[in-house]
């Protein structure tokens, strides 16, 4: 473990609720020195300095880190990882939290991730990949039923079409091959549809040791009852009460096998590995991997995680991750996302937000800022689709849920929109997924 008496200046990349949660946890560490954020948001800039750089530019980030004596660069989102920001920072002799570009391909290319999973022998949906529409359409017709069409590359969360029948799948293929998702859609993966509850398991790894963090469950659809378009996430809770010990062990072992396979392939994965799983009747199967912390999963995982996050991130970079350096509070966290009316479609910005202080004063409540900004008068205004993540931690799942909604009701802005059913199904038990 690194020495506890040297302060480390930190540069944190990103602008979402995930990054605000990372910032708060990093700032708690006695080792945290000055913290810079790029680009940050209204809540982050109230407690850290702005680094006026392009977060996706490896050269800019490495130069800023070098010029400002930064000792740790923490990379929140996927785009800078895939662009090679961690590679540039490490090449400058500075610690980076987040995998190098070759390892971030686990998220940057769905086909690459599938091939790694095949080699590692871990359970995932059966699939085929295509670079042309006609053979892909033949395969979809052959499947003659529900399937999932995925653009290979990063498509800002939009490149996955869960098709209930052949027509929807063919329309999804046409969308991918039309260039709608740019280069991301030039290769397409078509896979079998899996059913069951979904569960995320985030893990930290230094390339050989893997430490699973708590399970979490996101709510991706915009409307109550899991209807409407997909979003970046409308609410989340942790841990997931319906997951059995066997399922947790299987998910952990799948992630260990994947990291070992990457190592065998010459790829050193250091950072957060986010596994998205479907808990099928045949056991957990992988839906996807992300190369970063989840958003909004981070907002319910970090508040329960007991550790010095600066030390932990430095140990991940150094290859000295110690599983005993992380322990968990015996409680529950629920986070509800407040969005702008119209999200994920068009929405207004610049609307005054009130009540955040009152909400944050409730016991166990933290309001993470996501799509907001400070206007010229220093007032908090909306600036994005997902505006605030209202998280409550409490001794029981019900209490955490009630407290989160109590806090949501204290915050106001024109067009404030939220799902009232976050965690409701989990409260009813596993049978609620079979209904």
3-state DSSP percent of the chain in helix, strand and coil, to 5: 35, 30, 35
Taking the complex as a whole, how short is the minimal distance between the CB of residue 278 and ligand AMP, in angstroms? 6
| Cβ neighbours for 328, distance < 8 A, ≥ 6 positions apart | 214, 304, 305, 306
Which of 92, 162, 362, 374: binder of ligand AMP (CB under 6 A)? 162
Beta strands in 301-385 (DSSP E): 305-306, 327-328, 332-340, 365-369, 372-374, 380-382
Whole-angstrom distance, CA of residue 123 vs CA of residue 374: 46
Neighbours of 340 (CB within 10 A): 23
Per-position DSSP letters for 96-162, written without gaps between them: EES--HHHHHHHH-HHHHHHHHHHHT--B--EEEESSHHHHHHHHHHHTS-EEEEESS--TT--EEE
105 interface partner picked from ligand AMP, ligand GLY, none, CB below 5 to 8 A per type? none
Shortest separation between residue 432's beta carbon and ligand AMP, angstroms = 16
Beta strands, E only, 245-402: 271-280, 283-290, 305-306, 327-328, 332-340, 365-369, 372-374, 380-382, 386-394
Residue choice 194, 286, 373, 411 for contact with ligand AMP (CB under 6 A): 194
Q: Are 336 and 365 in contact (CB under 8 A)?
A: no
Site map 254..293 versus ligand GLY, x via CB under 6 A: ------------------------------------x---
Residue nearest to ligand GLY (CB): 294
Residues between 140 and 159 with contacts to ligand AMP, criterion CB under 6 A: 148, 150
Instruction: Identify residues 291-310 at the interface with ligand GLY (CB under 6 A).
Output: 294-295, 297
Give the x-and-dash track for 220-259 against ligand AMP (CB under 6 A): x---------------------------------------
Question: Does residue 111 bind ligand AMP (CB under 6 A)?
Answer: no
Query: Is position 19 an interface residue for ligand GLY (rule: CB under 6 A)?
Result: no
The contact mask relative to ligand AMP for 296-335 (x = CB under 6 A, - = no) is ----------------------------------------
What is each CA distance from 161 to 17, 158, 190, 229, in whole angstroms?
26, 8, 10, 11
Instruction: Spell 276-306 as b/e; 16+ CB within 10 A means b.
Output: bbbbeeeebbbbbbbbbbbbbbbbbbbbbbe
Please select the residue that binds ligand AMP; options are 33, 276, 283, 355, rule is CB under 6 A: 276
**Of the candidate residues 43, 80, 108, 233, the single one contacting ligand GLY (CB under 6 A):** 233
Q: Cis (ω within 30 of 0) for the bond into 239?
A: yes
Using CB under 6 A as the binding rule, whether residue 389 contacts ligand GLY is answered as no
Q: Give CA–CA dist 149/405, Å, rounded.
A: 35
Q: How far is the CB of 197 from ligand AMP (least distance, A)?
A: 10
Residue 318's Cβ-side half-sphere holds a number of Cα atoms within 13 Å equal to: 13
Contact region with ligand AMP (CB under 6 A), list: 77-85, 128-136, 192-200, 265-273: 192-200
**Among 62-70, 164-172, 186-194, 330-338, which window interacts with ligand AMP (CB under 6 A)?**
186-194
The window from 52-60, 134-142, 189-197, 415-423 that contacts ligand AMP (CB under 6 A) reads 189-197
User: Is the distance from CB of 370 to CB of 40 less than 8 angstroms?
Assistant: no
CB atoms within 10 A of CB 48: 22
* Shorter beta-carbon distance to ligand AMP: residue 39 or 146: 146
Query: In degrees rounded to 5, what are phi and psi of residue 373?
Result: -155, 165
> What is the closest distance, in whole angstroms, from the C-beta atom of residue 106 to ligand GLY in the complex?
13
Residue 82 C-beta: closest distance to ligand GLY, Å:
14
- Which strand (E) or helix (H) includes residue 398? helix 397-408
Residue 198 binds ligand AMP, judged by CB under 6 A: yes
| Smallest distance from ligand GLY to CB 40, Å | 19
* Residues in contact with ligand AMP by the rule CB under 6 A: 125, 148, 150, 160, 162, 191, 193-194, 198, 220, 276, 287-288
- Residues forming the site for ligand GLY (CB under 6 A): 218, 233, 290, 294-295, 297
């Amino acid at each position: 473990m690194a020495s506890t008496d040297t302060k480390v200046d930190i540069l944190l990349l990103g602008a979402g609720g995930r990054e605000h949660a990372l910032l708060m946890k990093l700032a708690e560490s006695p080792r945290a020195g000055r913290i810079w954020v790029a680009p940050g948001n209204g809540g982050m800039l109230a407690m850290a300095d702005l680094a006026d750089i392009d977060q996706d530019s490896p050269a800019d980030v490495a130069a800023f880190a070098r010029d400002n004596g930064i000792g740790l660069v923490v990379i929140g989102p996927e785009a800078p990882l895939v662009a090679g920001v961690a590679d540039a920072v490490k090449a400058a002799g500075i610690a980076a939290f987040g995998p190098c570009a070759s390892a971030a391909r686990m998220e940057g290319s769905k086909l690459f991730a599938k091939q790694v999973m095949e080699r590692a022998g871990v359970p995932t949906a059966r699939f085929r990949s295509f670079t042309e529409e006609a053979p892909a359409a033949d395969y979809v017709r052959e499947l003659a039923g529900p399937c999932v069409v995925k653009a290979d590359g990063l498509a800002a969360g939009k490149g996955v079409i869960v098709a209930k029948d052949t027509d929807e799948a063919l329309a999804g293929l046409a969308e991918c091959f039309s260039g709608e998702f740019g280069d991301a859609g030039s290769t397409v993966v078509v896979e079998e549809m899996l059913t069951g509850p979904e569960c995320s398991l985030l893990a930290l790894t230094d390339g050989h040791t893997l430490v699973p963090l708590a399970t979490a469950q996101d709510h991706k659809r915009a409307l109550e009852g899991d209807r409407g378009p997909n979003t970046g996430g409308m609410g989340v809770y942790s841990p997931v009460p319906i997951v059995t010990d066997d399922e947790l062990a299987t998910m952990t072992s799948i992630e260990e096998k994947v990291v070992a396979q990457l190592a065998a392939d010459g790829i050193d994965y250091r950072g957060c590995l986010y596994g998205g799983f479907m808990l099928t009747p045949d056991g957990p199967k992988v839906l996807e991997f992300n190369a970063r912390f989840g958003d909004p999963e981070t907002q319910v995982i970090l508040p329960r995680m007991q550790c010095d996050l600066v030390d932990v991130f430095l140990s991940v970079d150094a290859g000295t991750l110690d599983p005993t350096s992380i322990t968990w509070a015996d409680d529950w966290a629920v986070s509800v996302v407040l969005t702008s009316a119209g999200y994920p479609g068009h929405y207004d910005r610049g609307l005054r937000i009130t009540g955040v202080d009152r909400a944050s004063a409730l016991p166990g409540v933290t309001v993470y800022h996501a799509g907001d900004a400070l206007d010229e008068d220093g007032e908090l205004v909306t600036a994005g689709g997902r505006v605030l993540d209202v998280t409550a931690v409490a001794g029981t799942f019900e209490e955490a849920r009630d407290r989160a909604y109590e806090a949501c009701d204290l915050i106001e802005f024109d067009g404030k929109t939220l799902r009232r059913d976050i965690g409701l199904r989990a409260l009813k038990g596993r049978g609620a997924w079979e209904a």
